[in-house]
Amino acid sequence: MLDKIVALLKESGVHAWELSAVKERGWEFYFIRHELDQHRAKDLEYIQIRVYQLIEDGKFMGSASADLSPTATEAEAKKLIQDLAYRATLVKNKPYTLNPPRPGQPMEAPVDVAAIAEDFIRTMDALPETDTEDVNSYEIFVSDKVRRFLNSEGVDVTERYPDSMIEVVVNARKDGHEIELYRNFTSGSCDSEALKRDLSKAMAYGRDRLRTRPTPNLEKADVLFSGSDACSIYEYFVDRCDPAMIFRRMSDWTVGKPVAEELLGDKVNVFARRELPNSSRNQGFDSEGAPIRDCCIIQDGVVREILGRRMFSCYMGLENSFHPENIEVTGGTASEEELRNGPYLEAVEFSDFQVDEMTGDIFGEIRLGYWHDGETVTPVSGGSVSGSMFDFVKDMRMSREQAQYDTMRIPALTLLKNVTVTGAEG
């Protein structure tokens, strides 16, 4: 079918085109407590077509995309391409070229879906539970994905990789009260140790949520991030090195310049990684066919490379650019023990945590935190944290130890100083 679609695209007279097809085969398991409720196999295929058209004698270029059913007839495919060719003329962007063929090594990982699923089930069976904290239910999704990408410039790459997800609901009970916490973990294969660690924490957090006090109105305090919400802090660094942000003047970061003046704390290092253990996005090429490579984006707080998708990369003359799928962050100089000295608020659960890549503003509503006053530790909830990364980046601290959350490996602890903490007390 793909060869026929390519032939139709070539015959259509469109200026350029991209074609992406994914075949996904795997299993889904649904457990109540630890009893299997149901399971099913999946065998899916997705096809997406994007066409490009030049407008007003090449002054502008537009694009349009749509999904095509793998069971579509030749007539249906031809009609869709014609519709896309028209819709593309309604969009006006500065012209650019698609990715040309460049040297790269596609990922061709052997995928044993049954073995990965078994690892998840064994890990869940071995999870330590108590009379008051346990697993309510969980669902496992494991896939063997094969993705082929082609474009009109001659790129034609096929990759194979595992893609997994587990959704878990844990319960905690105390004195007639009960709380549920939901967790969603994505990965390539199963990282048993990390899954046990994070779910054990979730059950402990559920227990502590039942005995919290209102967050005090601290005004300004050091806040320690020890969970996956810290990924948003480091995504801020990656986003501000994106050509789309820079070209549109939403970021003033440039190669050779520090991310802030007078860096007093730890200086962040950000790397694009072609591969991370158990990542669900270990791929040799990005979604537009550009080869992915290991490289340094920020070194000791200084921007070293601008990376992003093809359109804005092309506008900025960045021919070796790509969209990074895996990110690693280093630069911490302190141990976890050293970062846990003195008064601080450890924020572990938010109802929502955001970092605005353009303004630098952060905001999060606290579901669970631990107020360390120097002598005692009190579970707290309610209130919020806020401030600006423009200020925090100058004196932030990071642990030498790392933790991985699917496609991101970051410092296990991140300390932001002088954060505004609005309390929940009356």
Contact yes or no for 389/315 (Cβ under 8 A): no
Contact (CB, 8 A) for 374 and 222: no
Residues of the chain with pLDDT under 50: 426
- Distance, CA of 268 to CA of 288 (rounded, Å): 29
Backbone angles phi and psi of 105, in degrees to 5: -115, 110
pLDDT at 283: 95
* Closest to 371 (Cα-Cα) out of 295, 326, 423: 423
Spatial CB neighbours of 394, under 8 Å, sequence gap ≥ 6 = 260, 261, 262, 263, 264, 265
Residue with the two structure tokens 């609901």: 169
The per-residue pLDDT for range 320-332, each reduced to its tens digit, is 999 999 999 999 9
Q: What is the pLDDT of residues 204-224, one digit of tens each?
A: 999 999 999 999 999 999 999
CATH 3.30.2290.10 domain span(s) along the chain: 2-208
| pLDDT for residue 282 | 95
Give the span between the Cα atoms of 220 and 385, in whole angstroms. 9
Whole-structure pTM value: 0.95
Task: Please tell me the predicted confidence (pLDDT) of residue 109.
Answer: 82
User: What is the layout of strands, in order, in the sheet containing 35-55?
Assistant: 60-68, 35-55, 16-32, 133-151, 156-174, 177-187
Q: From CA 103, how far away is CA 205, in angstroms rounded?
A: 48
Q: Which two tokens stand for residue 56?
A: 């007003």
Query: Using an 8 Å Cβ cutoff, are 379 and 212 in contact?
Result: yes
pLDDT at 110: 87
Architecture of the domain delimited by 2-208: 2-Layer Sandwich (3.30)
What's the rounded Cα separation, in Å, for the pair 380 and 424?
Answer: 9
